[in-house]
């Protein structure tokens, strides 16, 4: 390649990057405007907006007051900043944070969320010193955030790449690792126009990916020396949850000795596939934990499931906390469907299941977390949209996951599992073995951090 050709190519690439960065900035502007407009009627958008009103004052407190673990007020302890898009990604990164805390009890931990669905649930997480919303991406915001927080190590979970934050980390030579990354060929990183996205990947000191396929894809764009197949830390998290299980007496009372189907993270499409079975099999107890628990949706679920009662109502009645004026929709003894109207119980509910059902598989985004159910050694049933999630694909291949396409197939699958002891036992063992054979990702990440002295001088 001649100098002229090289120069022409370099100028052309720079022009492409400039155009893409311009488009990225327009996207950020439109997103900010869109949130403000949507917040007028959408509660989630309003939470997103209101949560960031005093954000810089809160960020300034990170290094502005003594840490609760510090013994010497005049020393700055190492600080780990973990960013996660939402609740699922937080649970993915949590085992790493808690393992680091055990090894470095004096360090500070800052967790940031982009989505209200993560922040609102974990804003009081005791394992972190500060839980914050991440300010909207911009060059000024990234510089200000890093100047105030001064992280020693940054952990980015799975995906959601913000250009200015990541490139500013690289400029300041702050180590940043990606945990449980997953890559697909259709992503911009692997397209001719993906130079801006590749710049973001170049900001990571190391990339821990879930699969061999992800590593191979990264190799096609020049990433090989800093990529490790580290597995998925969610396996470690669900094992941790299962092994720390504490009984829920109200749920035990509802289930009794009946067979139980626990349906978690359901959407309307899922509920419409399940209601017929629940309504025609009163001998089976069904526990539904909808993905959305706003009042309007809870009322829709109650219309579908004829013998349903909300968890809050059942708990109040069964513990004697309700008065005679609080009429229940049905007699508590006739209810065979329990609607969970709170957040935070789902991972424990699967323990009570005979069969589990995971929602999302009838929507465009696909099935939700199948591992929370599989860890208890229960068959995991879900809808047909699951191919983007390697754990769901592998669970089906191993025999622990079963796919349904219609309400009729759901009924046939449930009946088979409840009647055929051999098929049931086989699915249970396959589900549990799949989870336990894939744990250990956290350990490899911690080992890398230790070997590279990322938290020690």
Q: Is pLDDT at 14 greater than 90 in this prediction?
A: no
Q: Mean per-residue pLDDT for 55-71?
A: 74
Q: Mean per-residue pLDDT for 12-25?
A: 75
Percentage of residues of the chain with pLDDT beyond 90 = 78
Rounded CA separation 213/215 (Å): 5
pLDDT tier at 457, thresholds 50, 70, 90: low
pLDDT tier at 65, thresholds 50, 70, 90: low
Q: Is pLDDT at 434 greater than 50 in this prediction?
A: yes
pLDDT tier at 73, thresholds 50, 70, 90: very low
Which pTM does this prediction carry? 0.82
| Sole residue written with tokens 């013994």 | 71
Q: Mean per-residue pLDDT for 400-427?
A: 97
Q: Is pLDDT at 117 greater than 90 in this prediction?
A: no
**Fold: same for 33-231+440-451 and 247-436:** yes
Q: Is pLDDT at 74 greater than 60 in this prediction?
A: no
| pLDDT tens digits, one per residue of 202-224 | 999 999 999 999 999 999 999 98
The CATH class, in words, for 33-231+440-451 is alpha beta
Rounded CA separation 196/156 (Å): 18
pLDDT of residue 343: 84
Rounded CA separation 305/251 (Å): 18
Q: Is pLDDT at 318 greater than 90 in this prediction?
A: no
Domain boundaries, the chain: 33-231+440-451, 247-436
pLDDT tier at 72, thresholds 50, 70, 90: very low
- Does the domain spanning 247-436 belong to CATH 3.40.50.2000? yes
Q: Is pLDDT at 176 greater than 60 in this prediction?
A: yes
pLDDT of residue 6: 42
Q: Is pLDDT at 379 greater than 60 in this prediction?
A: yes
| pLDDT tens digits, one per residue of 278-306 | 999 999 999 999 999 999 999 999 999 99
Mean pLDDT for the chain overall: 90
The residues, any chain, with a CB within 8 Å of residue 446's CB and separated by 6 or more, are 96, 99, 100, 103
From the list 452, 439, 290, 446, the residue with the least C-alpha distance to 368 is 290
Q: Is pLDDT at 11 greater than 50 in this prediction?
A: no
- Partners of residue 109 on adjacent β-strands: 80
For the ranges 209-218, 318-327, 396-405, the lowest mean pLDDT is seen at 318-327
pLDDT of residue 12: 45
Residue 12 vs residue 412, higher pLDDT: 412
pLDDT of residue 328: 64
pLDDT of residue 15: 65
Q: Mean per-residue pLDDT for 308-320?
A: 88
In terms of C-beta distances under 8 Å and separation of at least 24 residues, what long-range contacts does 318-327 make, across chains too? Answer: 318/250, 318/253, 318/254, 319/250
| Sole residue written with tokens 């299962």 | 242
| pLDDT tens digits, one per residue of 336-377 | 999 999 988 899 999 999 999 999 999 998 999 999 999 999
Q: Is pLDDT at 329 greater than 50 in this prediction?
A: yes
pLDDT of residue 76: 78
């Amino acid at each position: 390649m001649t100098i002229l050709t090289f120069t022409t190519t370099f100028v052309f690439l720079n022009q492409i990057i400039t155009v893409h960065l311009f488009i990225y900035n327009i996207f950020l502007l439109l997103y900010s405007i869109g949130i403000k407009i949507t917040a007028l009627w959408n509660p989630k958008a309003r939470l997103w907006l209101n949560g960031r009103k005093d954000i810089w004052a809160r960020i300034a407190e990170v290094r502005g007051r003594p840490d609760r673990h510090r013994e010497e007020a005049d020393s700055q302890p190492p600080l780990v900043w973990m960013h996660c898009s939402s609740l699922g990604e937080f649970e993915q990164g949590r085992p790493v944070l808690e393992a680091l805390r055990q090894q470095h009890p004096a360090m500070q931990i800052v967790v940031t969320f982009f989505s209200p669905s993560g922040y609102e649930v974990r804003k009081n997480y005791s394992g972190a010193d500060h839980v914050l919303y991440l300010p909207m991406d911009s060059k000024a915001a990234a510089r200000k955030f890093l100047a105030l927080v001064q992280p020693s190590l940054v952990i980015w979970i799975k995906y959601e790449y913000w250009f200015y934050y990541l490139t500013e980390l690289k400029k300041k030579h702050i180590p940043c690792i990606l945990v449980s990354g997953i890559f697909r060929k259709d992503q911009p990183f692997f397209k001719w126009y993906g130079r801006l996205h590749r710049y973001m990947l170049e900001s990571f000191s190391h990339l821990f990916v879930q699969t061999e396929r992800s590593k191979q894809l990264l190799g096609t764009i020049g990433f090989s020396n800093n990529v490790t197949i580290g597995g998925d830390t969610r396996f470690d998290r669900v094992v941790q949850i299962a092994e720390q299980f504490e009984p829920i007496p109200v749920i035990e009372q509802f289930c009794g000795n009946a067979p139980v189907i626990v349906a978690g993270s359901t959407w309307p499409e899922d509920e419409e596939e399940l209601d017929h079975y629940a309504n025609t099999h009163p001998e089976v107890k069904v526990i539904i934990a909808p993905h959305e628990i706003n009042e309007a949706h809870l009322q829709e679920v109650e219309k579908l499931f004829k013998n349903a009662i909300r968890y809050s109502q059942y708990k109040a009645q069964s513990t004697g906390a309700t008065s005679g004026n609080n009429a229940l929709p049905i007699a508590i003894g006739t209810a065979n469907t329990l609607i969970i109207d709170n957040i935070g119980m789902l991972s424990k509910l699967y323990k009570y299941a005979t069969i589990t059902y995971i929602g999302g598989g009838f929507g465009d985004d696909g099935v939700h977390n199948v591992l929370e159910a599989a860890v208890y050694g229960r068959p995991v049933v879900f809808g047909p949209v699951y191919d983007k999630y390697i754990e769901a694909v592998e669970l089906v291949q191993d025999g622990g996951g079963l796919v349904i396409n219609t309400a009729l197939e759901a009924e046939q699958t449930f009946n088979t599992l409840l009647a055929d002891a051999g098929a049931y036992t086989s699915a249970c063992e396959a589900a549990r073995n799949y989870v336990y054979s894939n744990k250990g990702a956290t350990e490899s990440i911690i080992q890398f951090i230790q070997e590279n002295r990322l938290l020690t001088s």
